[in-house]
């Protein structure tokens, strides 16, 4: 008889001896009836949280917990579960010193006497730099944790639906070393397995692009030593105990620094050599297809264009300038027939 079947048989015997139905035991230990049924029949692996609660409720003097070592092969070894799955931090980053300090203080100052994991939510408009800030912060803090988990929840993609709690938990469990054959079917059971694997451990979990609070709740560990960093375009005020940070546009000085980083020294030197500074002062500059620094700076800090990544915004502005250049090159009689304003619009 396998370890799972042995545990299940003992759980059923103890439950029946206590005169409890599956539904009654489920209500007492806060695990679903379906999960308990699978454990009793050897179809699902138990965890230490379940064994401890059942030992207490059924007064079995620790017998259920004692059966757990037989299931060690079903649990990832602690060394196997060390995982630093952060994406690389962007090389183009400027400012945000106050925000980094604030979030670092919050994430590292929580005591272990808390009843649940600490949660920080970074909110702001699309393209304002939420993911860049979260990933940079996570890289800065990763040495304070046993591991870091990163999950993009795709909450605002137009070409795909948001990640479901069931799908997100499946991915998190696999990152923590659980084989697909041992991942429970129901969301509640996956969440219980996930919380059990993080019990007594210190992990930083980054949940990027969350659409709302409800899909995030099953992904929050119960372990107070864990910390969760969430990004969203929404404020997620329903997460009452979270620390909220609203991210605004970069100040002009930091935006200029970001521009210089994105443009690179070669392009800046070419602009200066070609008289870019003079064109910036010209009320009606002649466009040569490249953006002068002041125009790129406008793209960086203009909130109206922040629905797109920076590279796409620069490309779009280049195309706008190409169209304007073509308009200027049209014959004079065309201009007389269809007068245009200064922006090239009819």
Q: Is the pLDDT of residue 169 over 90?
A: yes
DSSP secondary-structure letter at 73? G
Q: Please report the pLDDT score of residue 230 as a whole number.
A: 95
Q: Please report the pLDDT score of residue 31 as a whole number.
A: 74
Contact by Cβ (8 Å): 245, 137: no
Do 242 and 258 fall into the same domain? no
Q: Which residues contact 15 (CB under 8 A, 6 or more apart)?
A: 22, 25, 40, 54, 58
Do 240 and 261 fall into the same domain? no
Contact by Cβ (8 Å): 134, 90: no
Cβ neighbourhood burial of 33 (10 Å; 0-12, 13-18, 19+): middle
Count of beta carbons in the 10 Å neighbourhood of residue 59: 10
- What is the Cα–Cα distance from 275 to 121, expressed in whole angstroms? 45
Q: Which helix (H) or strand (E) element contains residue 22?
A: helix 22-29
Contact by Cβ (8 Å): 279, 292: yes
Do 194 and 134 fall into the same domain? yes
Which of residues 135 and 301 earns the better pLDDT score?
Answer: 135
| Residue 305 pLDDT level (bands cut at 50, 70, 90) | very low
Domain count, the chain: 3
- Domain finish residue from 246, 277, 304: 246
Q: Is the pLDDT of residue 295 over 80?
A: no
Tens digit of pLDDT for each residue in 108-121? 876 545 656 789 99
CA angle 297/154/121 to nearest 5° reads 70
Do 131 and 230 fall into the same domain? yes
Do 230 and 323 fall into the same domain? no
Q: Please report the pLDDT score of residue 3 as a whole number.
A: 53
Do 51 and 187 fall into the same domain? no
Count of beta carbons in the 10 Å neighbourhood of residue 228: 23
Report the SS3 class of residue 224: coil
Do 18 and 125 fall into the same domain? no
Q: Which residues contact 346 (CB under 8 A, 6 or more apart)?
A: 338, 339, 340
Q: Is the pLDDT of residue 247 over 80?
A: yes
Q: Please report the pLDDT score of residue 13 as a whole number.
A: 93
Q: Please report the pLDDT score of residue 56 as a whole number.
A: 81
Q: Please report the pLDDT score of residue 244 as a whole number.
A: 93
Q: Is the pLDDT of residue 341 over 90?
A: no
Which of residues 168 and 316 earns the better pLDDT score?
Answer: 168
Q: Which domain holds residue 62?
A: 3-74
90 located within any domain? no
Tens digit of pLDDT for each residue in 27-75? 887 777 888 888 888 888 787 777 877 888 898 888 888 887 544 444 4
Q: What is the DSSP string of 302-319?
A: -GGGTTS-HHHHHHHHHH
Do 271 and 238 fall into the same domain? no
Q: Identify the CATH number of the domain in which residue 148 sits.
A: 3.40.50.300
Q: Which residues contact 308 (CB under 8 A, 6 or more apart)?
A: 127, 316
Do 233 and 127 fall into the same domain? yes
Do 127 and 236 fall into the same domain? yes
Do 126 and 188 fall into the same domain? yes
86 located within any domain? no
The rounded mean pLDDT for the chain is 75
Do 139 and 224 fall into the same domain? yes
Tokens of 100: 């980094």
312 located within any domain? yes
Name the range with the highest mean pLDDT among 5-9, 89-93, 160-164: 160-164
């Amino acid at each position: 008889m396998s370890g799972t079947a042995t545990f299940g048989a003992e759980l059923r015997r103890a439950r029946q001896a206590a005169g409890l139905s599956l539904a009654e035991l489920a209500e007492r230990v806060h695990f679903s009836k379906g999960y308990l049924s699978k454990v009793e029949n050897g179809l699902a692996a138990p965890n230490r949280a379940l064994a401890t609660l059942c030992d207490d409720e059924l007064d079995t003097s620790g017998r259920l917990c004692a059966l757990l070592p037989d299931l060690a092969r079903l649990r990832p070894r602690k060394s196997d579960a060390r995982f630093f799955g952060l994406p690389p931090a962007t090389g183009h980053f400027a400012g945000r010193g106050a925000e980094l300090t604030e979030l670092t203080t919050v994430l590292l100052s929580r005591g272990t006497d808390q009843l649940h994991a600490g949660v920080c939510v970074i909110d702001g408009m699309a393209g304002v730099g939420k993911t860049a800030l979260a990933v940079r912060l996570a890289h800065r803090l990763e040495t304070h944790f046993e591991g870091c988990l990163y999950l993009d929840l795709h909450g605002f993609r137009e070409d795909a639906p948001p990640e479901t709690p069931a799908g997100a938990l499946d991915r998190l469990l696999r990152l923590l070393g659980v084989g697909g054959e041992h991942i429970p079917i129901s969301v509640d059971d996956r969440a219980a397995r996930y919380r059990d694997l993080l019990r007594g451990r210190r992990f930083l979990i980054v949940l990027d692009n969350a659409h709302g609070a409800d899909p995030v709740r099953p992904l929050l560990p119960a372990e107070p030593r864990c910390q969760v960093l969430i990004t969203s375009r929404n404020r997620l005020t329903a997460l009452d105990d979270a620390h909220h940070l609203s991210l605004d546009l970069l100040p002009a000085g930091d935006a200029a620094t970001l521009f210089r980083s994105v443009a690179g020294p070669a392009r800046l030197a070419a602009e200066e050599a070609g008289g870019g500074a003079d064109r910036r002062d010209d009320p009606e500059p002649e466009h040569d297809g490249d953006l002068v620094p002041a125009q790129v700076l406008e793209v960086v800090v203009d909130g109206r264009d922040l629905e797109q990544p920076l590279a796409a915004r620069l490309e779009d502005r280049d195309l706008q300038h190409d169209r304007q250049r073509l308009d200027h090159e049209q014959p004079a009689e065309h201009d007389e027939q269809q007068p245009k304003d200064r922006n090239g619009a009819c």
